[in-house]
Amino acid sequence: MTQTANFDSDRSTTMLALMHRIRAFEEAAITAQKQGLVLGAIHPSIGQEAVAAGICANLERADLMLSTHRGHGHTLAKGADPLAMMRELFGRAGGTCGGKGGSMHIADFGVGMLGADGVVGANIPIATGAAHGLKLQGSRQIVTCIFGDGAINRGPFLEGLNWARVFDLPVLFVCEDNGFSATTRTSHMTGGAGAGARAESLGIPSVAVDGNDLVALDAVARNAISDIRAGGGPMFLHAKTYRITGHTAVDPATYRPADEVEAQRANCPIARLETALGLSGVTPETFSALRNDAAREMADIAAQAQATDWPDAALAFVDVQDVGSPRQRPF
């Protein structure tokens, strides 16, 4: 854990509380899925909480964000209501998307969260388009696009980054690199020097950072976002982290050695930040209180979500575009 001479223990404690809330939300969602309350896949971000906390701590509410299928932590860190998020996972009324989107398409335009995306890499050109719109408007807002390491091997990565560079768009691309593309190590299927080198080949400045080091990530994100907002054009952040769970909540992840996972538990961003804060005088009792408060909050939220009514069936096709039948006329 990077700890500078002017280490801000108050700011770090606030972000530690957020990371505990993200982890508790994921754990509550996993429990709910086991109970049959969540249908479809859940992709937990347990072990990757620092990326969400460190990036979003430096964004403004009006800034826009796009996420991946593993987007609960990003959405919560951007300011979304966890009860509305849990209702969305449960398919209930009052969900962020009316219960229609579920886990992999969670969105909350009210906090600038334009949505998660179940298609790997598909959020990249959407983010680029949003950034282009902001530039045309002369807005001071920026866009942050978070995607996994598997996305760098897909076409939208090249298309999106190239467009952002050509038009100098206000977008921060964040590769949240947990080392695995589903059940395969990304290093086994990626040619060349990887994510950062590919961004730099397109003329986009790239910074690599330990994605489990909240303090370092916070500082790098602050500088990058400030530069982009000042008109510096697109930037790329490569954050190496590790997901402690499997690819999905039901994936036992037997393709990974057990000792590797256990070592990463000790290296997770929550454990590392607590070590740094402990050296600054924050007590173990404070850590326990943050953890317990987060667990109680999310357990209560899950109970409230379960008690929420199902959406009115009459609302099923509200906000769904009808472009007519292609057999009758062209689009």
pLDDT of residue 321: 74
* Residue with the larger pLDDT of the pair 7 and 18: 18
Mean per-residue pLDDT for 222-249? Answer: 97
CB 241 within 8 A of CB 178: yes
Find out whether 83 and 301 touch, Cβ atoms under 8 Å.
Answer: yes
pLDDT (average), residues 170-196: 94
Task: Work out the pLDDT band at 167, boundaries 50, 70, 90.
Answer: very high
Q: Please give the Cα distance from 100 to 37 (Å, whole number).
A: 15
pLDDT digits (tens, 9 = 90+) for 311-321: 999 888 887 77
d(CA 193, CA 213): 22
- Please report which confidence band the pLDDT of residue 328 belongs to, taking 50, 70 and 90 as the band edges: low
pLDDT tens column, 26-58: 999 999 999 999 988 999 999 999 999 999 999
How much is the pTM? 0.93
- Is the pLDDT confidence value at 331 over 50? no
Q: Could you write out the DSSP letters of every residue in 49-100? A: HHHHHHHHTTS-TTSEEE--SS-HHHHHHTT--HHHHHHHHHT-TT-TTTTS
3-state secondary structure of 204: coil
Q: Is the pLDDT of residue 25 over 80?
A: yes
What pLDDT, in 10s, does the model give residues 241-293?
Answer: 999 999 999 999 999 999 999 999 999 999 999 999 999 999 999 999 999 99
Nearest residue to 233 via CA among 224, 243, 242: 224
The residue assigned the tokens 């890499």 is 121
The predicted model gives 221-228 an average pLDDT of 98
Q: Which residues, 6+ apart, have CB-to-CB distance to 126 below 8 Å?
A: 66, 114, 115, 117
pLDDT band at 84 (very low <50, low <70, confident <90, very high): very high
DSSP-H helix ranges across the chain: 9-34, 49-56, 72-77, 82-90, 123-137, 155-166, 195-201, 214-227, 258-266, 269-279, 284-306
Domain range annotation of the chain:
9-302
pLDDT score of 299 more than 70: yes
For residues 161-172, average pLDDT: 98
Residue 3's pLDDT is what? Answer: 54
Q: What average pLDDT is seen over the chain? A: 94
Contact 224, 172 (CB under 8 A): yes
Q: How confident is the model at residue 11 (pLDDT cuts 50, 70, 90)?
A: very high
Assigned CATH class of 9-302:
alpha beta
Q: Is the pLDDT of residue 5 over 90?
A: no
